[in-house]
């Protein structure tokens, strides 16, 4: 959604019903297998029975028993029916439960002018958290064992085949590997010329330009890069700083051109001589 579209979204005021704001509610965390059963259950079905046992001077004992109607929704999946709820008091935070009722639809079409706007309800404030855990009986142990077996099944399996499958046939060799070997083979075939002949080629090249990188010098001399570097170290300097970083230049004793500093000195000397005249 673009920025302009976001700006065009209308802001609708909704009514919030706070008549149940003072009611205390419980937040219960149930196992996944219970949640799946409850999602399949119709709205008019009893899904369980909650028992609260109070003993003076002790915490209340809360237990949950699932109804047989819920358990039989999927007869093949046997699940535990007896559960204990561990109770903990909510502190240092305020939690609430909200619900909403969608607008009434008439003849399968919404009429914004006639239907009531969506209304929000506050169902209550959470006063206790409960975690539902099954009793460790044979049924639960069997369920846990099945879940461990499913988790241990590898996602990928090795499957033998009796014929060639082109979709999965590996590439014999990749293009970049072939190119690399051919380049290395071509470099290996380069014969080492006489050292003096290579130095003559280098001097001729440096008469045209003052700086060269190693790739250009390899193309010019057609010598193996290792052999060429040995000769370059004798007659050239390697620049490590800008503006000619990673470039080769003849050593001072082999240069026949003047540096910028030398040119400035010559210009200065010539100016002084003219002044004396």
pLDDT band at 237, cuts 50/70/90?
very high
Neighbours of 135 (CB within 10 A): 12
Q: Please tell me whether the peptide bond between 119 and the residue prior to it is cis, using omega within 30 degrees of 0.
A: no
Instruction: Find tokens 């700083």 and name the residue.
Output: 241
- The closest of 33, 32, 63 to 48, measured between CA atoms, is 63
Helix or strand run (H / E) with residue 68: helix 68-71
Angstrom CA distances, 138 to 80, 82, 145, 220, stand at 9, 12, 10, 84
Quote the CA–CA distance of 277 and 275 in Å, as a whole number.
5
Q: Which residue has the higher pLDDT, 154 or 265?
A: 154
85 within 8 A of 63, measured Cβ to Cβ:
yes
The ranges assigned to domains in the chain are: 14-100+118-135, 189-252
CB-neighbour burial class of residue 145 (10 A; exposed 0-12, middle 13-18, buried 19+): exposed
The answer to whether the CB of 275 falls within 8 A of the CB of 267 is no
Distance CA 136, CA 132 (A): 13
Please tell me whether the overall predicted TM-score, pTM, comes out greater than 0.75 for this model: no
What would the pLDDT profile of 37-65 be if each residue is shown by its tens digit?
888 888 888 889 989 888 888 888 888 99
Confidence band, pLDDT 50/70/90 cuts, at residue 109: very low
CA distance 66 to 46: 9
> How far, in Å, CA of 257 to CA of 53, rounded?
104
Cα 52 from chain centroid (whole Å): 47
**85-99, 105-119, 135-149: segment of lowest average pLDDT:** 105-119
N residues, the chain: 277
Closest CA to 127 of 83, 84, 87, 86: 87
Q: How confident is the model at residue 269 (pLDDT cuts 50, 70, 90)?
A: low
Q: How many CB atoms within 10 Å of residue 43?
A: 4
pLDDT band at 89 (very low <50, low <70, confident <90, very high): confident
Highest mean pLDDT among 69-78, 114-123, 184-193, 251-260: 69-78
Q: What is the reported pLDDT for 217?
A: 92
Residues 6+ apart with CB under 8 A from 13: 117
- Topology adopted by domain 189-252: Arc Repressor Mutant, subunit A (1.10.10)
């Amino acid at each position: 959604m673009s920025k302009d579209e976001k700006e065009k979204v209308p802001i609708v005021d909704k009514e919030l019903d706070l008549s149940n704001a003072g009611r205390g509610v419980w937040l219960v965390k149930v196992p996944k297998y219970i949640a799946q059963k409850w999602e399949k259950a119709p709205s008019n079905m009893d899904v369980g029975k909650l028992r609260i046992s109070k003993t003076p001077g002790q915490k209340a004992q809360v237990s949950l028993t699932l109804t047989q109607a819920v358990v039989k929704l999927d007869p093949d999946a046997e699940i535990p029916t007896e559960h204990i709820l561990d109770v903990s008091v909510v502190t240092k935070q305020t939690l609430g439960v909200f619900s909403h009722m969608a607008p009434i639809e008439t003849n399968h079409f919404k009429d914004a002018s006639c239907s009531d706007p969506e209304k929000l309800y506050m169902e209550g404030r959470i006063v206790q958290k409960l975690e539902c855990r099954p009793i460790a009986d044979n049924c639960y142990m069997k369920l846990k064992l099945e879940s461990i077996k499913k988790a241990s099944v590898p996602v990928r399996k090795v499957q033998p085949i009796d014929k060639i499958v082109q979709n999965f046939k590996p590439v014999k060799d990749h293009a970049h590997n072939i190119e690399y070997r051919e380049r290395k083979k071509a470099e290996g075939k380069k014969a080492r010329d006489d050292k003096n002949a290579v130095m003559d080629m280098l001097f001729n090249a440096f008469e045209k330009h003052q700086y060269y990188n190693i790739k250009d010098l390899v193309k010019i001399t057609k010598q193996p890069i290792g052999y060429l570097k040995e000769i370059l170290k004798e007659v050239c300097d390697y620049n490590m700083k800008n503006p000619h970083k990673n470039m080769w230049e003849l050593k001072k004793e082999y240069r026949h051109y003047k540096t910028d500093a030398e040119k400035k000195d010559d210009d200065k000397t010539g100016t002084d001589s003219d002044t004396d005249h």
